Structure 1
Amino acid sequence: MVETGHVTAISHMTYQPVGHGTAAVETMTFDRLRELNDGGTQRADFHVLAVVDAGHGHVTVDFLRHPLRKRCAVWIAPGAVHRWDDIAGVTGHVVLFVPTAPVTHATRELVASPDLVARWSVPDTDWPFVDAARNHLLLEASAPPAETPTELPEILLSALITRLRPPHGEAHSTNPTFRLFRSSVEAHYREHHDAGYYARALGYAPRTLSRAVQQVTGRTAKAYIGDRLVLEAKRLLAHDRLTAAACAGALGFPDASNFSVFFRKATGMRPGAWQATTAVA
């Protein structure tokens, strides 16, 4: 179960499993999700992994709308702003888990990635293995709490993630320079907007760093940092309903005017005008 304050206006969701006080993994059906969901914008502090058996609908993750179709998967990382739409006919299961739940090195590394793929189709050849892994996790999650907690749910979650094989994106780059840069940006983008800071902190020449980032993403290091700032600004404006001044303070800009110029240059809209387009009833 997820603590939301009240069911009819889901906004910020905190991981609080029902019946398994310390459980790191919880499962629910889409029927249960529909009971909790009011179609509003949500932001969680845990991972949401959905496996769709059948039906049609949509999920919007960080302002990108994705179709829900038979045998597709959805992964929503902590902090991502998301909304479920038109899911009345969707069947399948949703797995909620804390970032530390996976037990294998590969799945822990994947879960820690800041740029997870939000939606993908599961190939027919993979589906029997995904279905078996999912059903084993569901069976274990339904078992009465053991006197001595085990890692079985976490192990089975890792098996499901492995069988789902999320498509590789930037997060899976083997370029060590980019991986260090990406991790550093994720940790410090609120305080440091200058690519030169990351070059100095990581011990690279600015050109070397930007070349590595461009090889992986097609963008310069400066553009990558800017994109990360824009994403977080959109999250704060859409979900937290912060003012431009509050966003400026949260993201390390000297004042609201400076932030507004940055945001308008990146999106073509002033922060307040963009926020108005995301308003929900």
Structure 2
Amino acid sequence: MVESGHVTVIRQMTYRPVERRAAAVETMTFDRLRERNDGGTQRADFHVLAVVDAGRGSVTVDFLRHPLRERSAVWIPPAAVHRWDDIAGVAGHVVLFVPTAPVTPTTRELVASPDVAAHWSIPEADWPFVDAARNHLVLEASAPPGDLATELPGILLSALIGRLRPPHGGARSAHPVFRLFRSSVEAHFRRHHDAGYYARTLGYAPRTLSRAVQQATGRTAKAYIVDRIVLEAKRLLAHDRLTAAACADTLGFPDASNFSVFFRKATGLRPGAWQATVAIV
């Protein structure tokens, strides 16, 4: 894991294993993370999955702060803006992996989902299985490069993800219509903001689509789309330091004024005012 690109306020992290160039999975302890971490805010092009054994701390993911406690997990997907706020007393392991690393259909679908929760507690009954899966992955990932079977880390990563049972943030159902909608929004939200577009594209009546999204997330289809656009806008404002005009262009708004009205209605602040409040060091 190294830094690359133009460093402004948030560092862009690129996946690049030092010792095994072909490895799609890398592991490290929280001790090693502390050595590399300067307390700043980052955005990566890979997944970060952490398992906490002991201690207390916190991590901020996409502007929401989450507590770190014994037997808890953290999942930071690519492009998420994140900061390790307080990990001085935290023990455990961090797994870094590229999106294509998992090998089973279920775990690949899960990794591709934009709705995986950023943080959750691991049930006591699941902990022995999580611990064993994690330790096996860590052991295999530490093998000398010449002894490393390239498919094993992906297999063991899939086993760990399966045992962790990461919940979907706000998605209480795996309704097939919602899954299709979610994937379509992820692909097209920068240009299409209307729920009707997704209903037409997917071939469902607007009422059917709305019902599926409501059952899965507790939100309307329109609210789901708005939340996704707002999250991306915040990332662009905080990480790329874009102006309202640049955000409008990137996110498919007619002009800066239209985008500013949208953003203020969703957050209570104009884009520039929100950008100024983001405490990033």
Which range, TM-score by smaller chain? over 0.9
Offset of 1:235 from its aligned partner?
1.0
Structure-to-structure mapping, 1:92-171, within 5 angstroms: 92-146=92-146, 149-169=149-169
Which one is further off, 18-27 or 167-176? 167-176
Which one is further off, 236-245 or 15-24? 236-245
Query: Contact conserved, 1:29 with 1:93, CA < 8 A, in 2?
Result: yes
Q: 1:219 to 1:29 in 2, by over 3 A?
A: same
Give the TM-score taking structure 2 as reference length.
0.94
Q: Percent identity?
A: 83
Give the TM-score taking structure 1 as reference length.
0.94
Q: 1:183 to 1:49 in 2, by over 3 A?
A: same
Q: Which amino acid aligns with 1:88?
A: A
Offset of 1:3 from its aligned partner?
3.1
Q: 1:262 to 1:46 in 2, by over 3 A?
A: same
Question: Could you say which residue in structure 2 is the equivalent of 1:48?
Answer: 48
Q: Which whole-Å deviations, capped at 9, do the CAs of 1:111-148 have from their partners, x for residues lacking one? A: 11111111111122222211111111111111111378
Q: Which whole-Å deviations, capped at 9, do the CAs of 1:190-246 have from their partners, x for residues lacking one? A: 011111111111112222222221222222211111111001101111122111111
Question: Could you say which residue in structure 2 is the equivalent of 1:21?
Answer: 21
Q: Which has the higher contact order (CA 8 A, sep 6+)?
A: 2
Offset of 1:181 from its aligned partner?
0.9
Query: Contact conserved, 1:117 with 1:169, CA < 8 A, in 2?
Result: yes
Q: Give structure 1 stretches of 5+ with no counterpart.
A: none
Q: Secondary structure at the match of 1:178?
A: helix
Q: Which amino acid aligns with 2:154?
A: E
In structure 2, distance between residues paired with 1:276 and 1:24: 37
Q: Which amino acid aligns with 1:184?
A: S
Which one is further off, 2-11 or 80-89? 2-11
Offset of 1:186 from its aligned partner?
0.5
In structure 1, distance between residues paired with 2:257 and 2:145: 54
Q: Secondary structure at the match of 1:48?
A: strand
Query: Contact conserved, 2:3 with 2:11, CA < 8 A, in 1?
Result: no
In structure 2, distance between residues paired with 1:154 and 1:277: 40
Question: Could you say which residue in structure 1 is the equivalent of 2:193?
Answer: 193
Cα RMSD of the aligned pairs, angstroms, is: 2.0
Structure-to-structure mapping, 1:78-97, within 5 angstroms: 78-97=78-97
In structure 2, distance between residues paired with 1:7 and 1:233: 19
Question: Could you say which residue in structure 2 is the equivalent of 1:215?
Answer: 215
Offset of 1:170 from its aligned partner?
5.0
In structure 1, distance between residues paired with 2:131 and 2:112: 24
Offset of 1:150 from its aligned partner?
2.7
Q: Secondary structure at the match of 2:145?
A: coil
Which one is further off, 215-224 or 142-151? 142-151
Q: Give structure 2 stretches of 5+ with no counterpart.
A: none
Offset of 1:165 from its aligned partner?
1.4
Offset of 1:173 from its aligned partner?
2.8
Q: Secondary structure at the match of 1:259?
A: helix
